Amino acid sequence: MLRTTPLASLIFAVAAISIVGCTTTQVADAPTPDTLDTPAALETPAVITIDGMACPFCINNVQRQLQEVQGVLHAEIDLQKGQAVVTLSQKNPPTADVLRQAVLSSGFTPTQVQMP
Amino acid sequence: MNTVVKMTRHTAIMALTWLWLAPAMVSAAGLNTNVALSPPQGGTIIRTQWRYTQLSGDPTPLGRETTINLQTVTVVHGLTANFTLLSTLPIVGREIDLAVGEDVSDTGIADITLLGKYRFHQHDEPGKTVRGSVIAGAQLPTFDSPFSSNSVDPIVGMVWTYQQPSWWVDWDVLYQFNTGGGFQGNDQLRADVAISYPLLGNWSVGNDAWSLYAIAEINTKYLTDGSMQVLASPGLQLISARWILELGIQLPIYQNMSSPRLETDFTTILSLRFQF
């Protein structure tokens, strides 16, 4: 087995630690009525039918883009159904077009957006 | 005679070094590839990989037996939904045991790859997708001899992906122009095909759902000095929504190397990807 220089090992370790460190970043949890700082959610979520999702890695792409939309409290992706179930804020919920654009930005194709 | 041995030794070492930096060149998906990685707009994927390669079959009187330890860090960023930037930094450590003369042991930073990928075709269906992208960029010199070509070497290519939940396949072809010439090697054409299919699916660990995939790749390389390799890479991928851990081995199926290039005995691969 080769010995690498300390510099090489350090760079590799920093990259690996950066990856591990990033795992502490949590996606937003689903809001509860008891969370004082969380806006109240609409009772019925939006459901987006999405084509092209075919691998587990796809989930993160779509979820990330939807949860960055203002007025989206939480997004749950069902790979088998090809759907995103999106919990919306009662105050200033996004429009269907905004949700559709978020899915397009993730690299997939929204075919239907059912708003509450 | 000593001068001839020195010149042959130097040429052999340079030729060997360049060829075995080739895995650092970014190519398509799978164990040995990066280009099919597609983060969303504003998203980033970081992949770190460690490759251990053993080479032998020296056609020269030097009797070289060589091990190369290659560590790469690849960063992939989605500028838009269809345009991605990729960059790979390779760190090389090698040991060359010589039957004639003093053994060589050194480390350095090989040339940095910088590529742009534009997706020109996308056809999505429920649970399926077909995508095609063109690739253009270059390997940029670090001038860290002998690991650098000391020249800007353009790269062009294409990658296609077909995915469905039960299996997916990635195919790529890339051509690298080596403008340095001489000891820096020749132009390289490579083509790769990778097939991945699930072995075990969807068990939960914490907030993530995990799946275990088997992957099988065929990697081909052709150099304009006539050298050619066909390599097989079986492996495993442990995949969650944000992580992929990969293990594999690359073995030669066919090799016809022009002197003074060595032949590959095997390469072991350990890789970790994270998306954020």
Interface pTM, i.e. ipTM = 0.76
Q: Which residues of B touch A80 (CB under 8 A)?
A: 165
Task: Give the mean pLDDT of B192-221.
Answer: 83
Report the alpha-carbon distance of residue A77 to residue A69 in Å, rounded: 15
Query: Is A10's Cβ below 8 Å from some Cβ in B?
Result: no
The tens digit of pLDDT for each residue in B25-44 reads 333 368 888 777 778 888 89
Q: Which of A66-70, B7-11, B207-211 has the lowest mean pLDDT?
A: B7-11
Say yes or no for a CB contact (<8 Å) between B127 and A53: yes
Residue B183 pLDDT greater than 70, yes or no: no
Q: Which of A1, A4, A48 to mutate to test the interface with B (most CBs of B within 10 A)?
A: A4
Contact B269, B232 (CB under 8 A): no
Distance set, CA B69 to CA B16, B105, B187, B274 (Å):
13, 11, 23, 22
* Nearest Cβ partner for A108 among B69, B124, B168: B124
- Mean pLDDT calculated for residue range B129-158: 93
Q: Nearest-CA neighbor of A116 among A79, A98, A90, A97?
A: A90
Facing A51 at nearest CB: one of B126, B241, B274: B126
Residue A2 is encoded by which pair of tokens? 């080769």
pLDDT digits (tens, 9 = 90+) for B38-61: 788 888 999 999 999 999 988 888
pLDDT for res A22: 44
Out of B80, B129, B207, closest to residue A52 by CB = B129
Q: What is the mean pLDDT of residues B218-239?
A: 94
Inter-chain contact A60–B241, Cβ cutoff 8 Å? Answer: yes
Q: What is the pLDDT of residue A26?
A: 38
Looking at residue B266, its amino acid is F
| pTM of model > 0.80 | yes
Average pLDDT over residues B166-194: 86
Residues A106, B81: C-beta atoms closer than 8 Å? yes
Residues in chain B: 276
* Residue A52: Cβ-neighbour burial (10 angstroms; 0-12, 13-18, 19+): buried
How does pLDDT run along chain A (116 residues), one tens digit per residue? 344 455 555 555 555 555 544 443 333 444 444 445 567 877 789 999 999 998 777 788 899 899 999 999 999 998 888 999 999 999 889 999 999 999 999 889 999 999 98
CA distance A64 to chain B (A): 8
Specify whether the CB–CB gap between B67 and A2 falls below 8 A.
yes
Q: Is the pLDDT of residue B184 over 80?
A: no
Closest-CA distance, A38 to chain B, in angstroms, reads 21
In angstroms, how far is CA A73 from the centroid of its own chain? 11
A positions 30-59 inside 8 Å of B (CB): 49, 51-57, 59
Q: Do A12 and B126 touch (CB under 8 A)?
A: no
If you average pLDDT over residues B164-177, what whole number do you get?
92
Over the range B96-111, which residues count as b (16 or more CB within 10 Å of their CB) and which as e? bebeeeeebebbbbbb
**A87 and B CB contact within 8 Å:** no
* B5 confidence band (pLDDT: 50, 70, 90): very low
**Which one of A16, A25, A54 has the shortest CB-CB distance to B128?**
A54
Q: Any chain B CB within 8 A of the CB of A78?
A: no
Tell which wins on pLDDT, B177 or B243: B177
Mean pLDDT of B115-124: 96
Residues of A in contact with B240 (CB under 8 A): 56
- Count of A-B CB contacts under 8 Å: 126
Averaged confidence pLDDT in chain B:
85
**What mean pLDDT is predicted for residues B18-28?**
38
Residues linked to residue A70 through DSSP beta bridges, in sequence order:
none
- Taking 60 as the threshold, does the pLDDT of residue B82 lie above it? yes
Nearest CA in chain B to A53: B127
Residue B33 to chain A, least CA–CA distance (Å) = 16
Specify the pLDDT at position A35.
Answer: 46
The pLDDT of residue B1: 43
pLDDT value at B81 more than 70:
yes
The separation between CA B65 and the C-alpha centre of its own chain, rounded to angstroms, equals: 22
The answer on pLDDT for B243 being more than 90 is: no
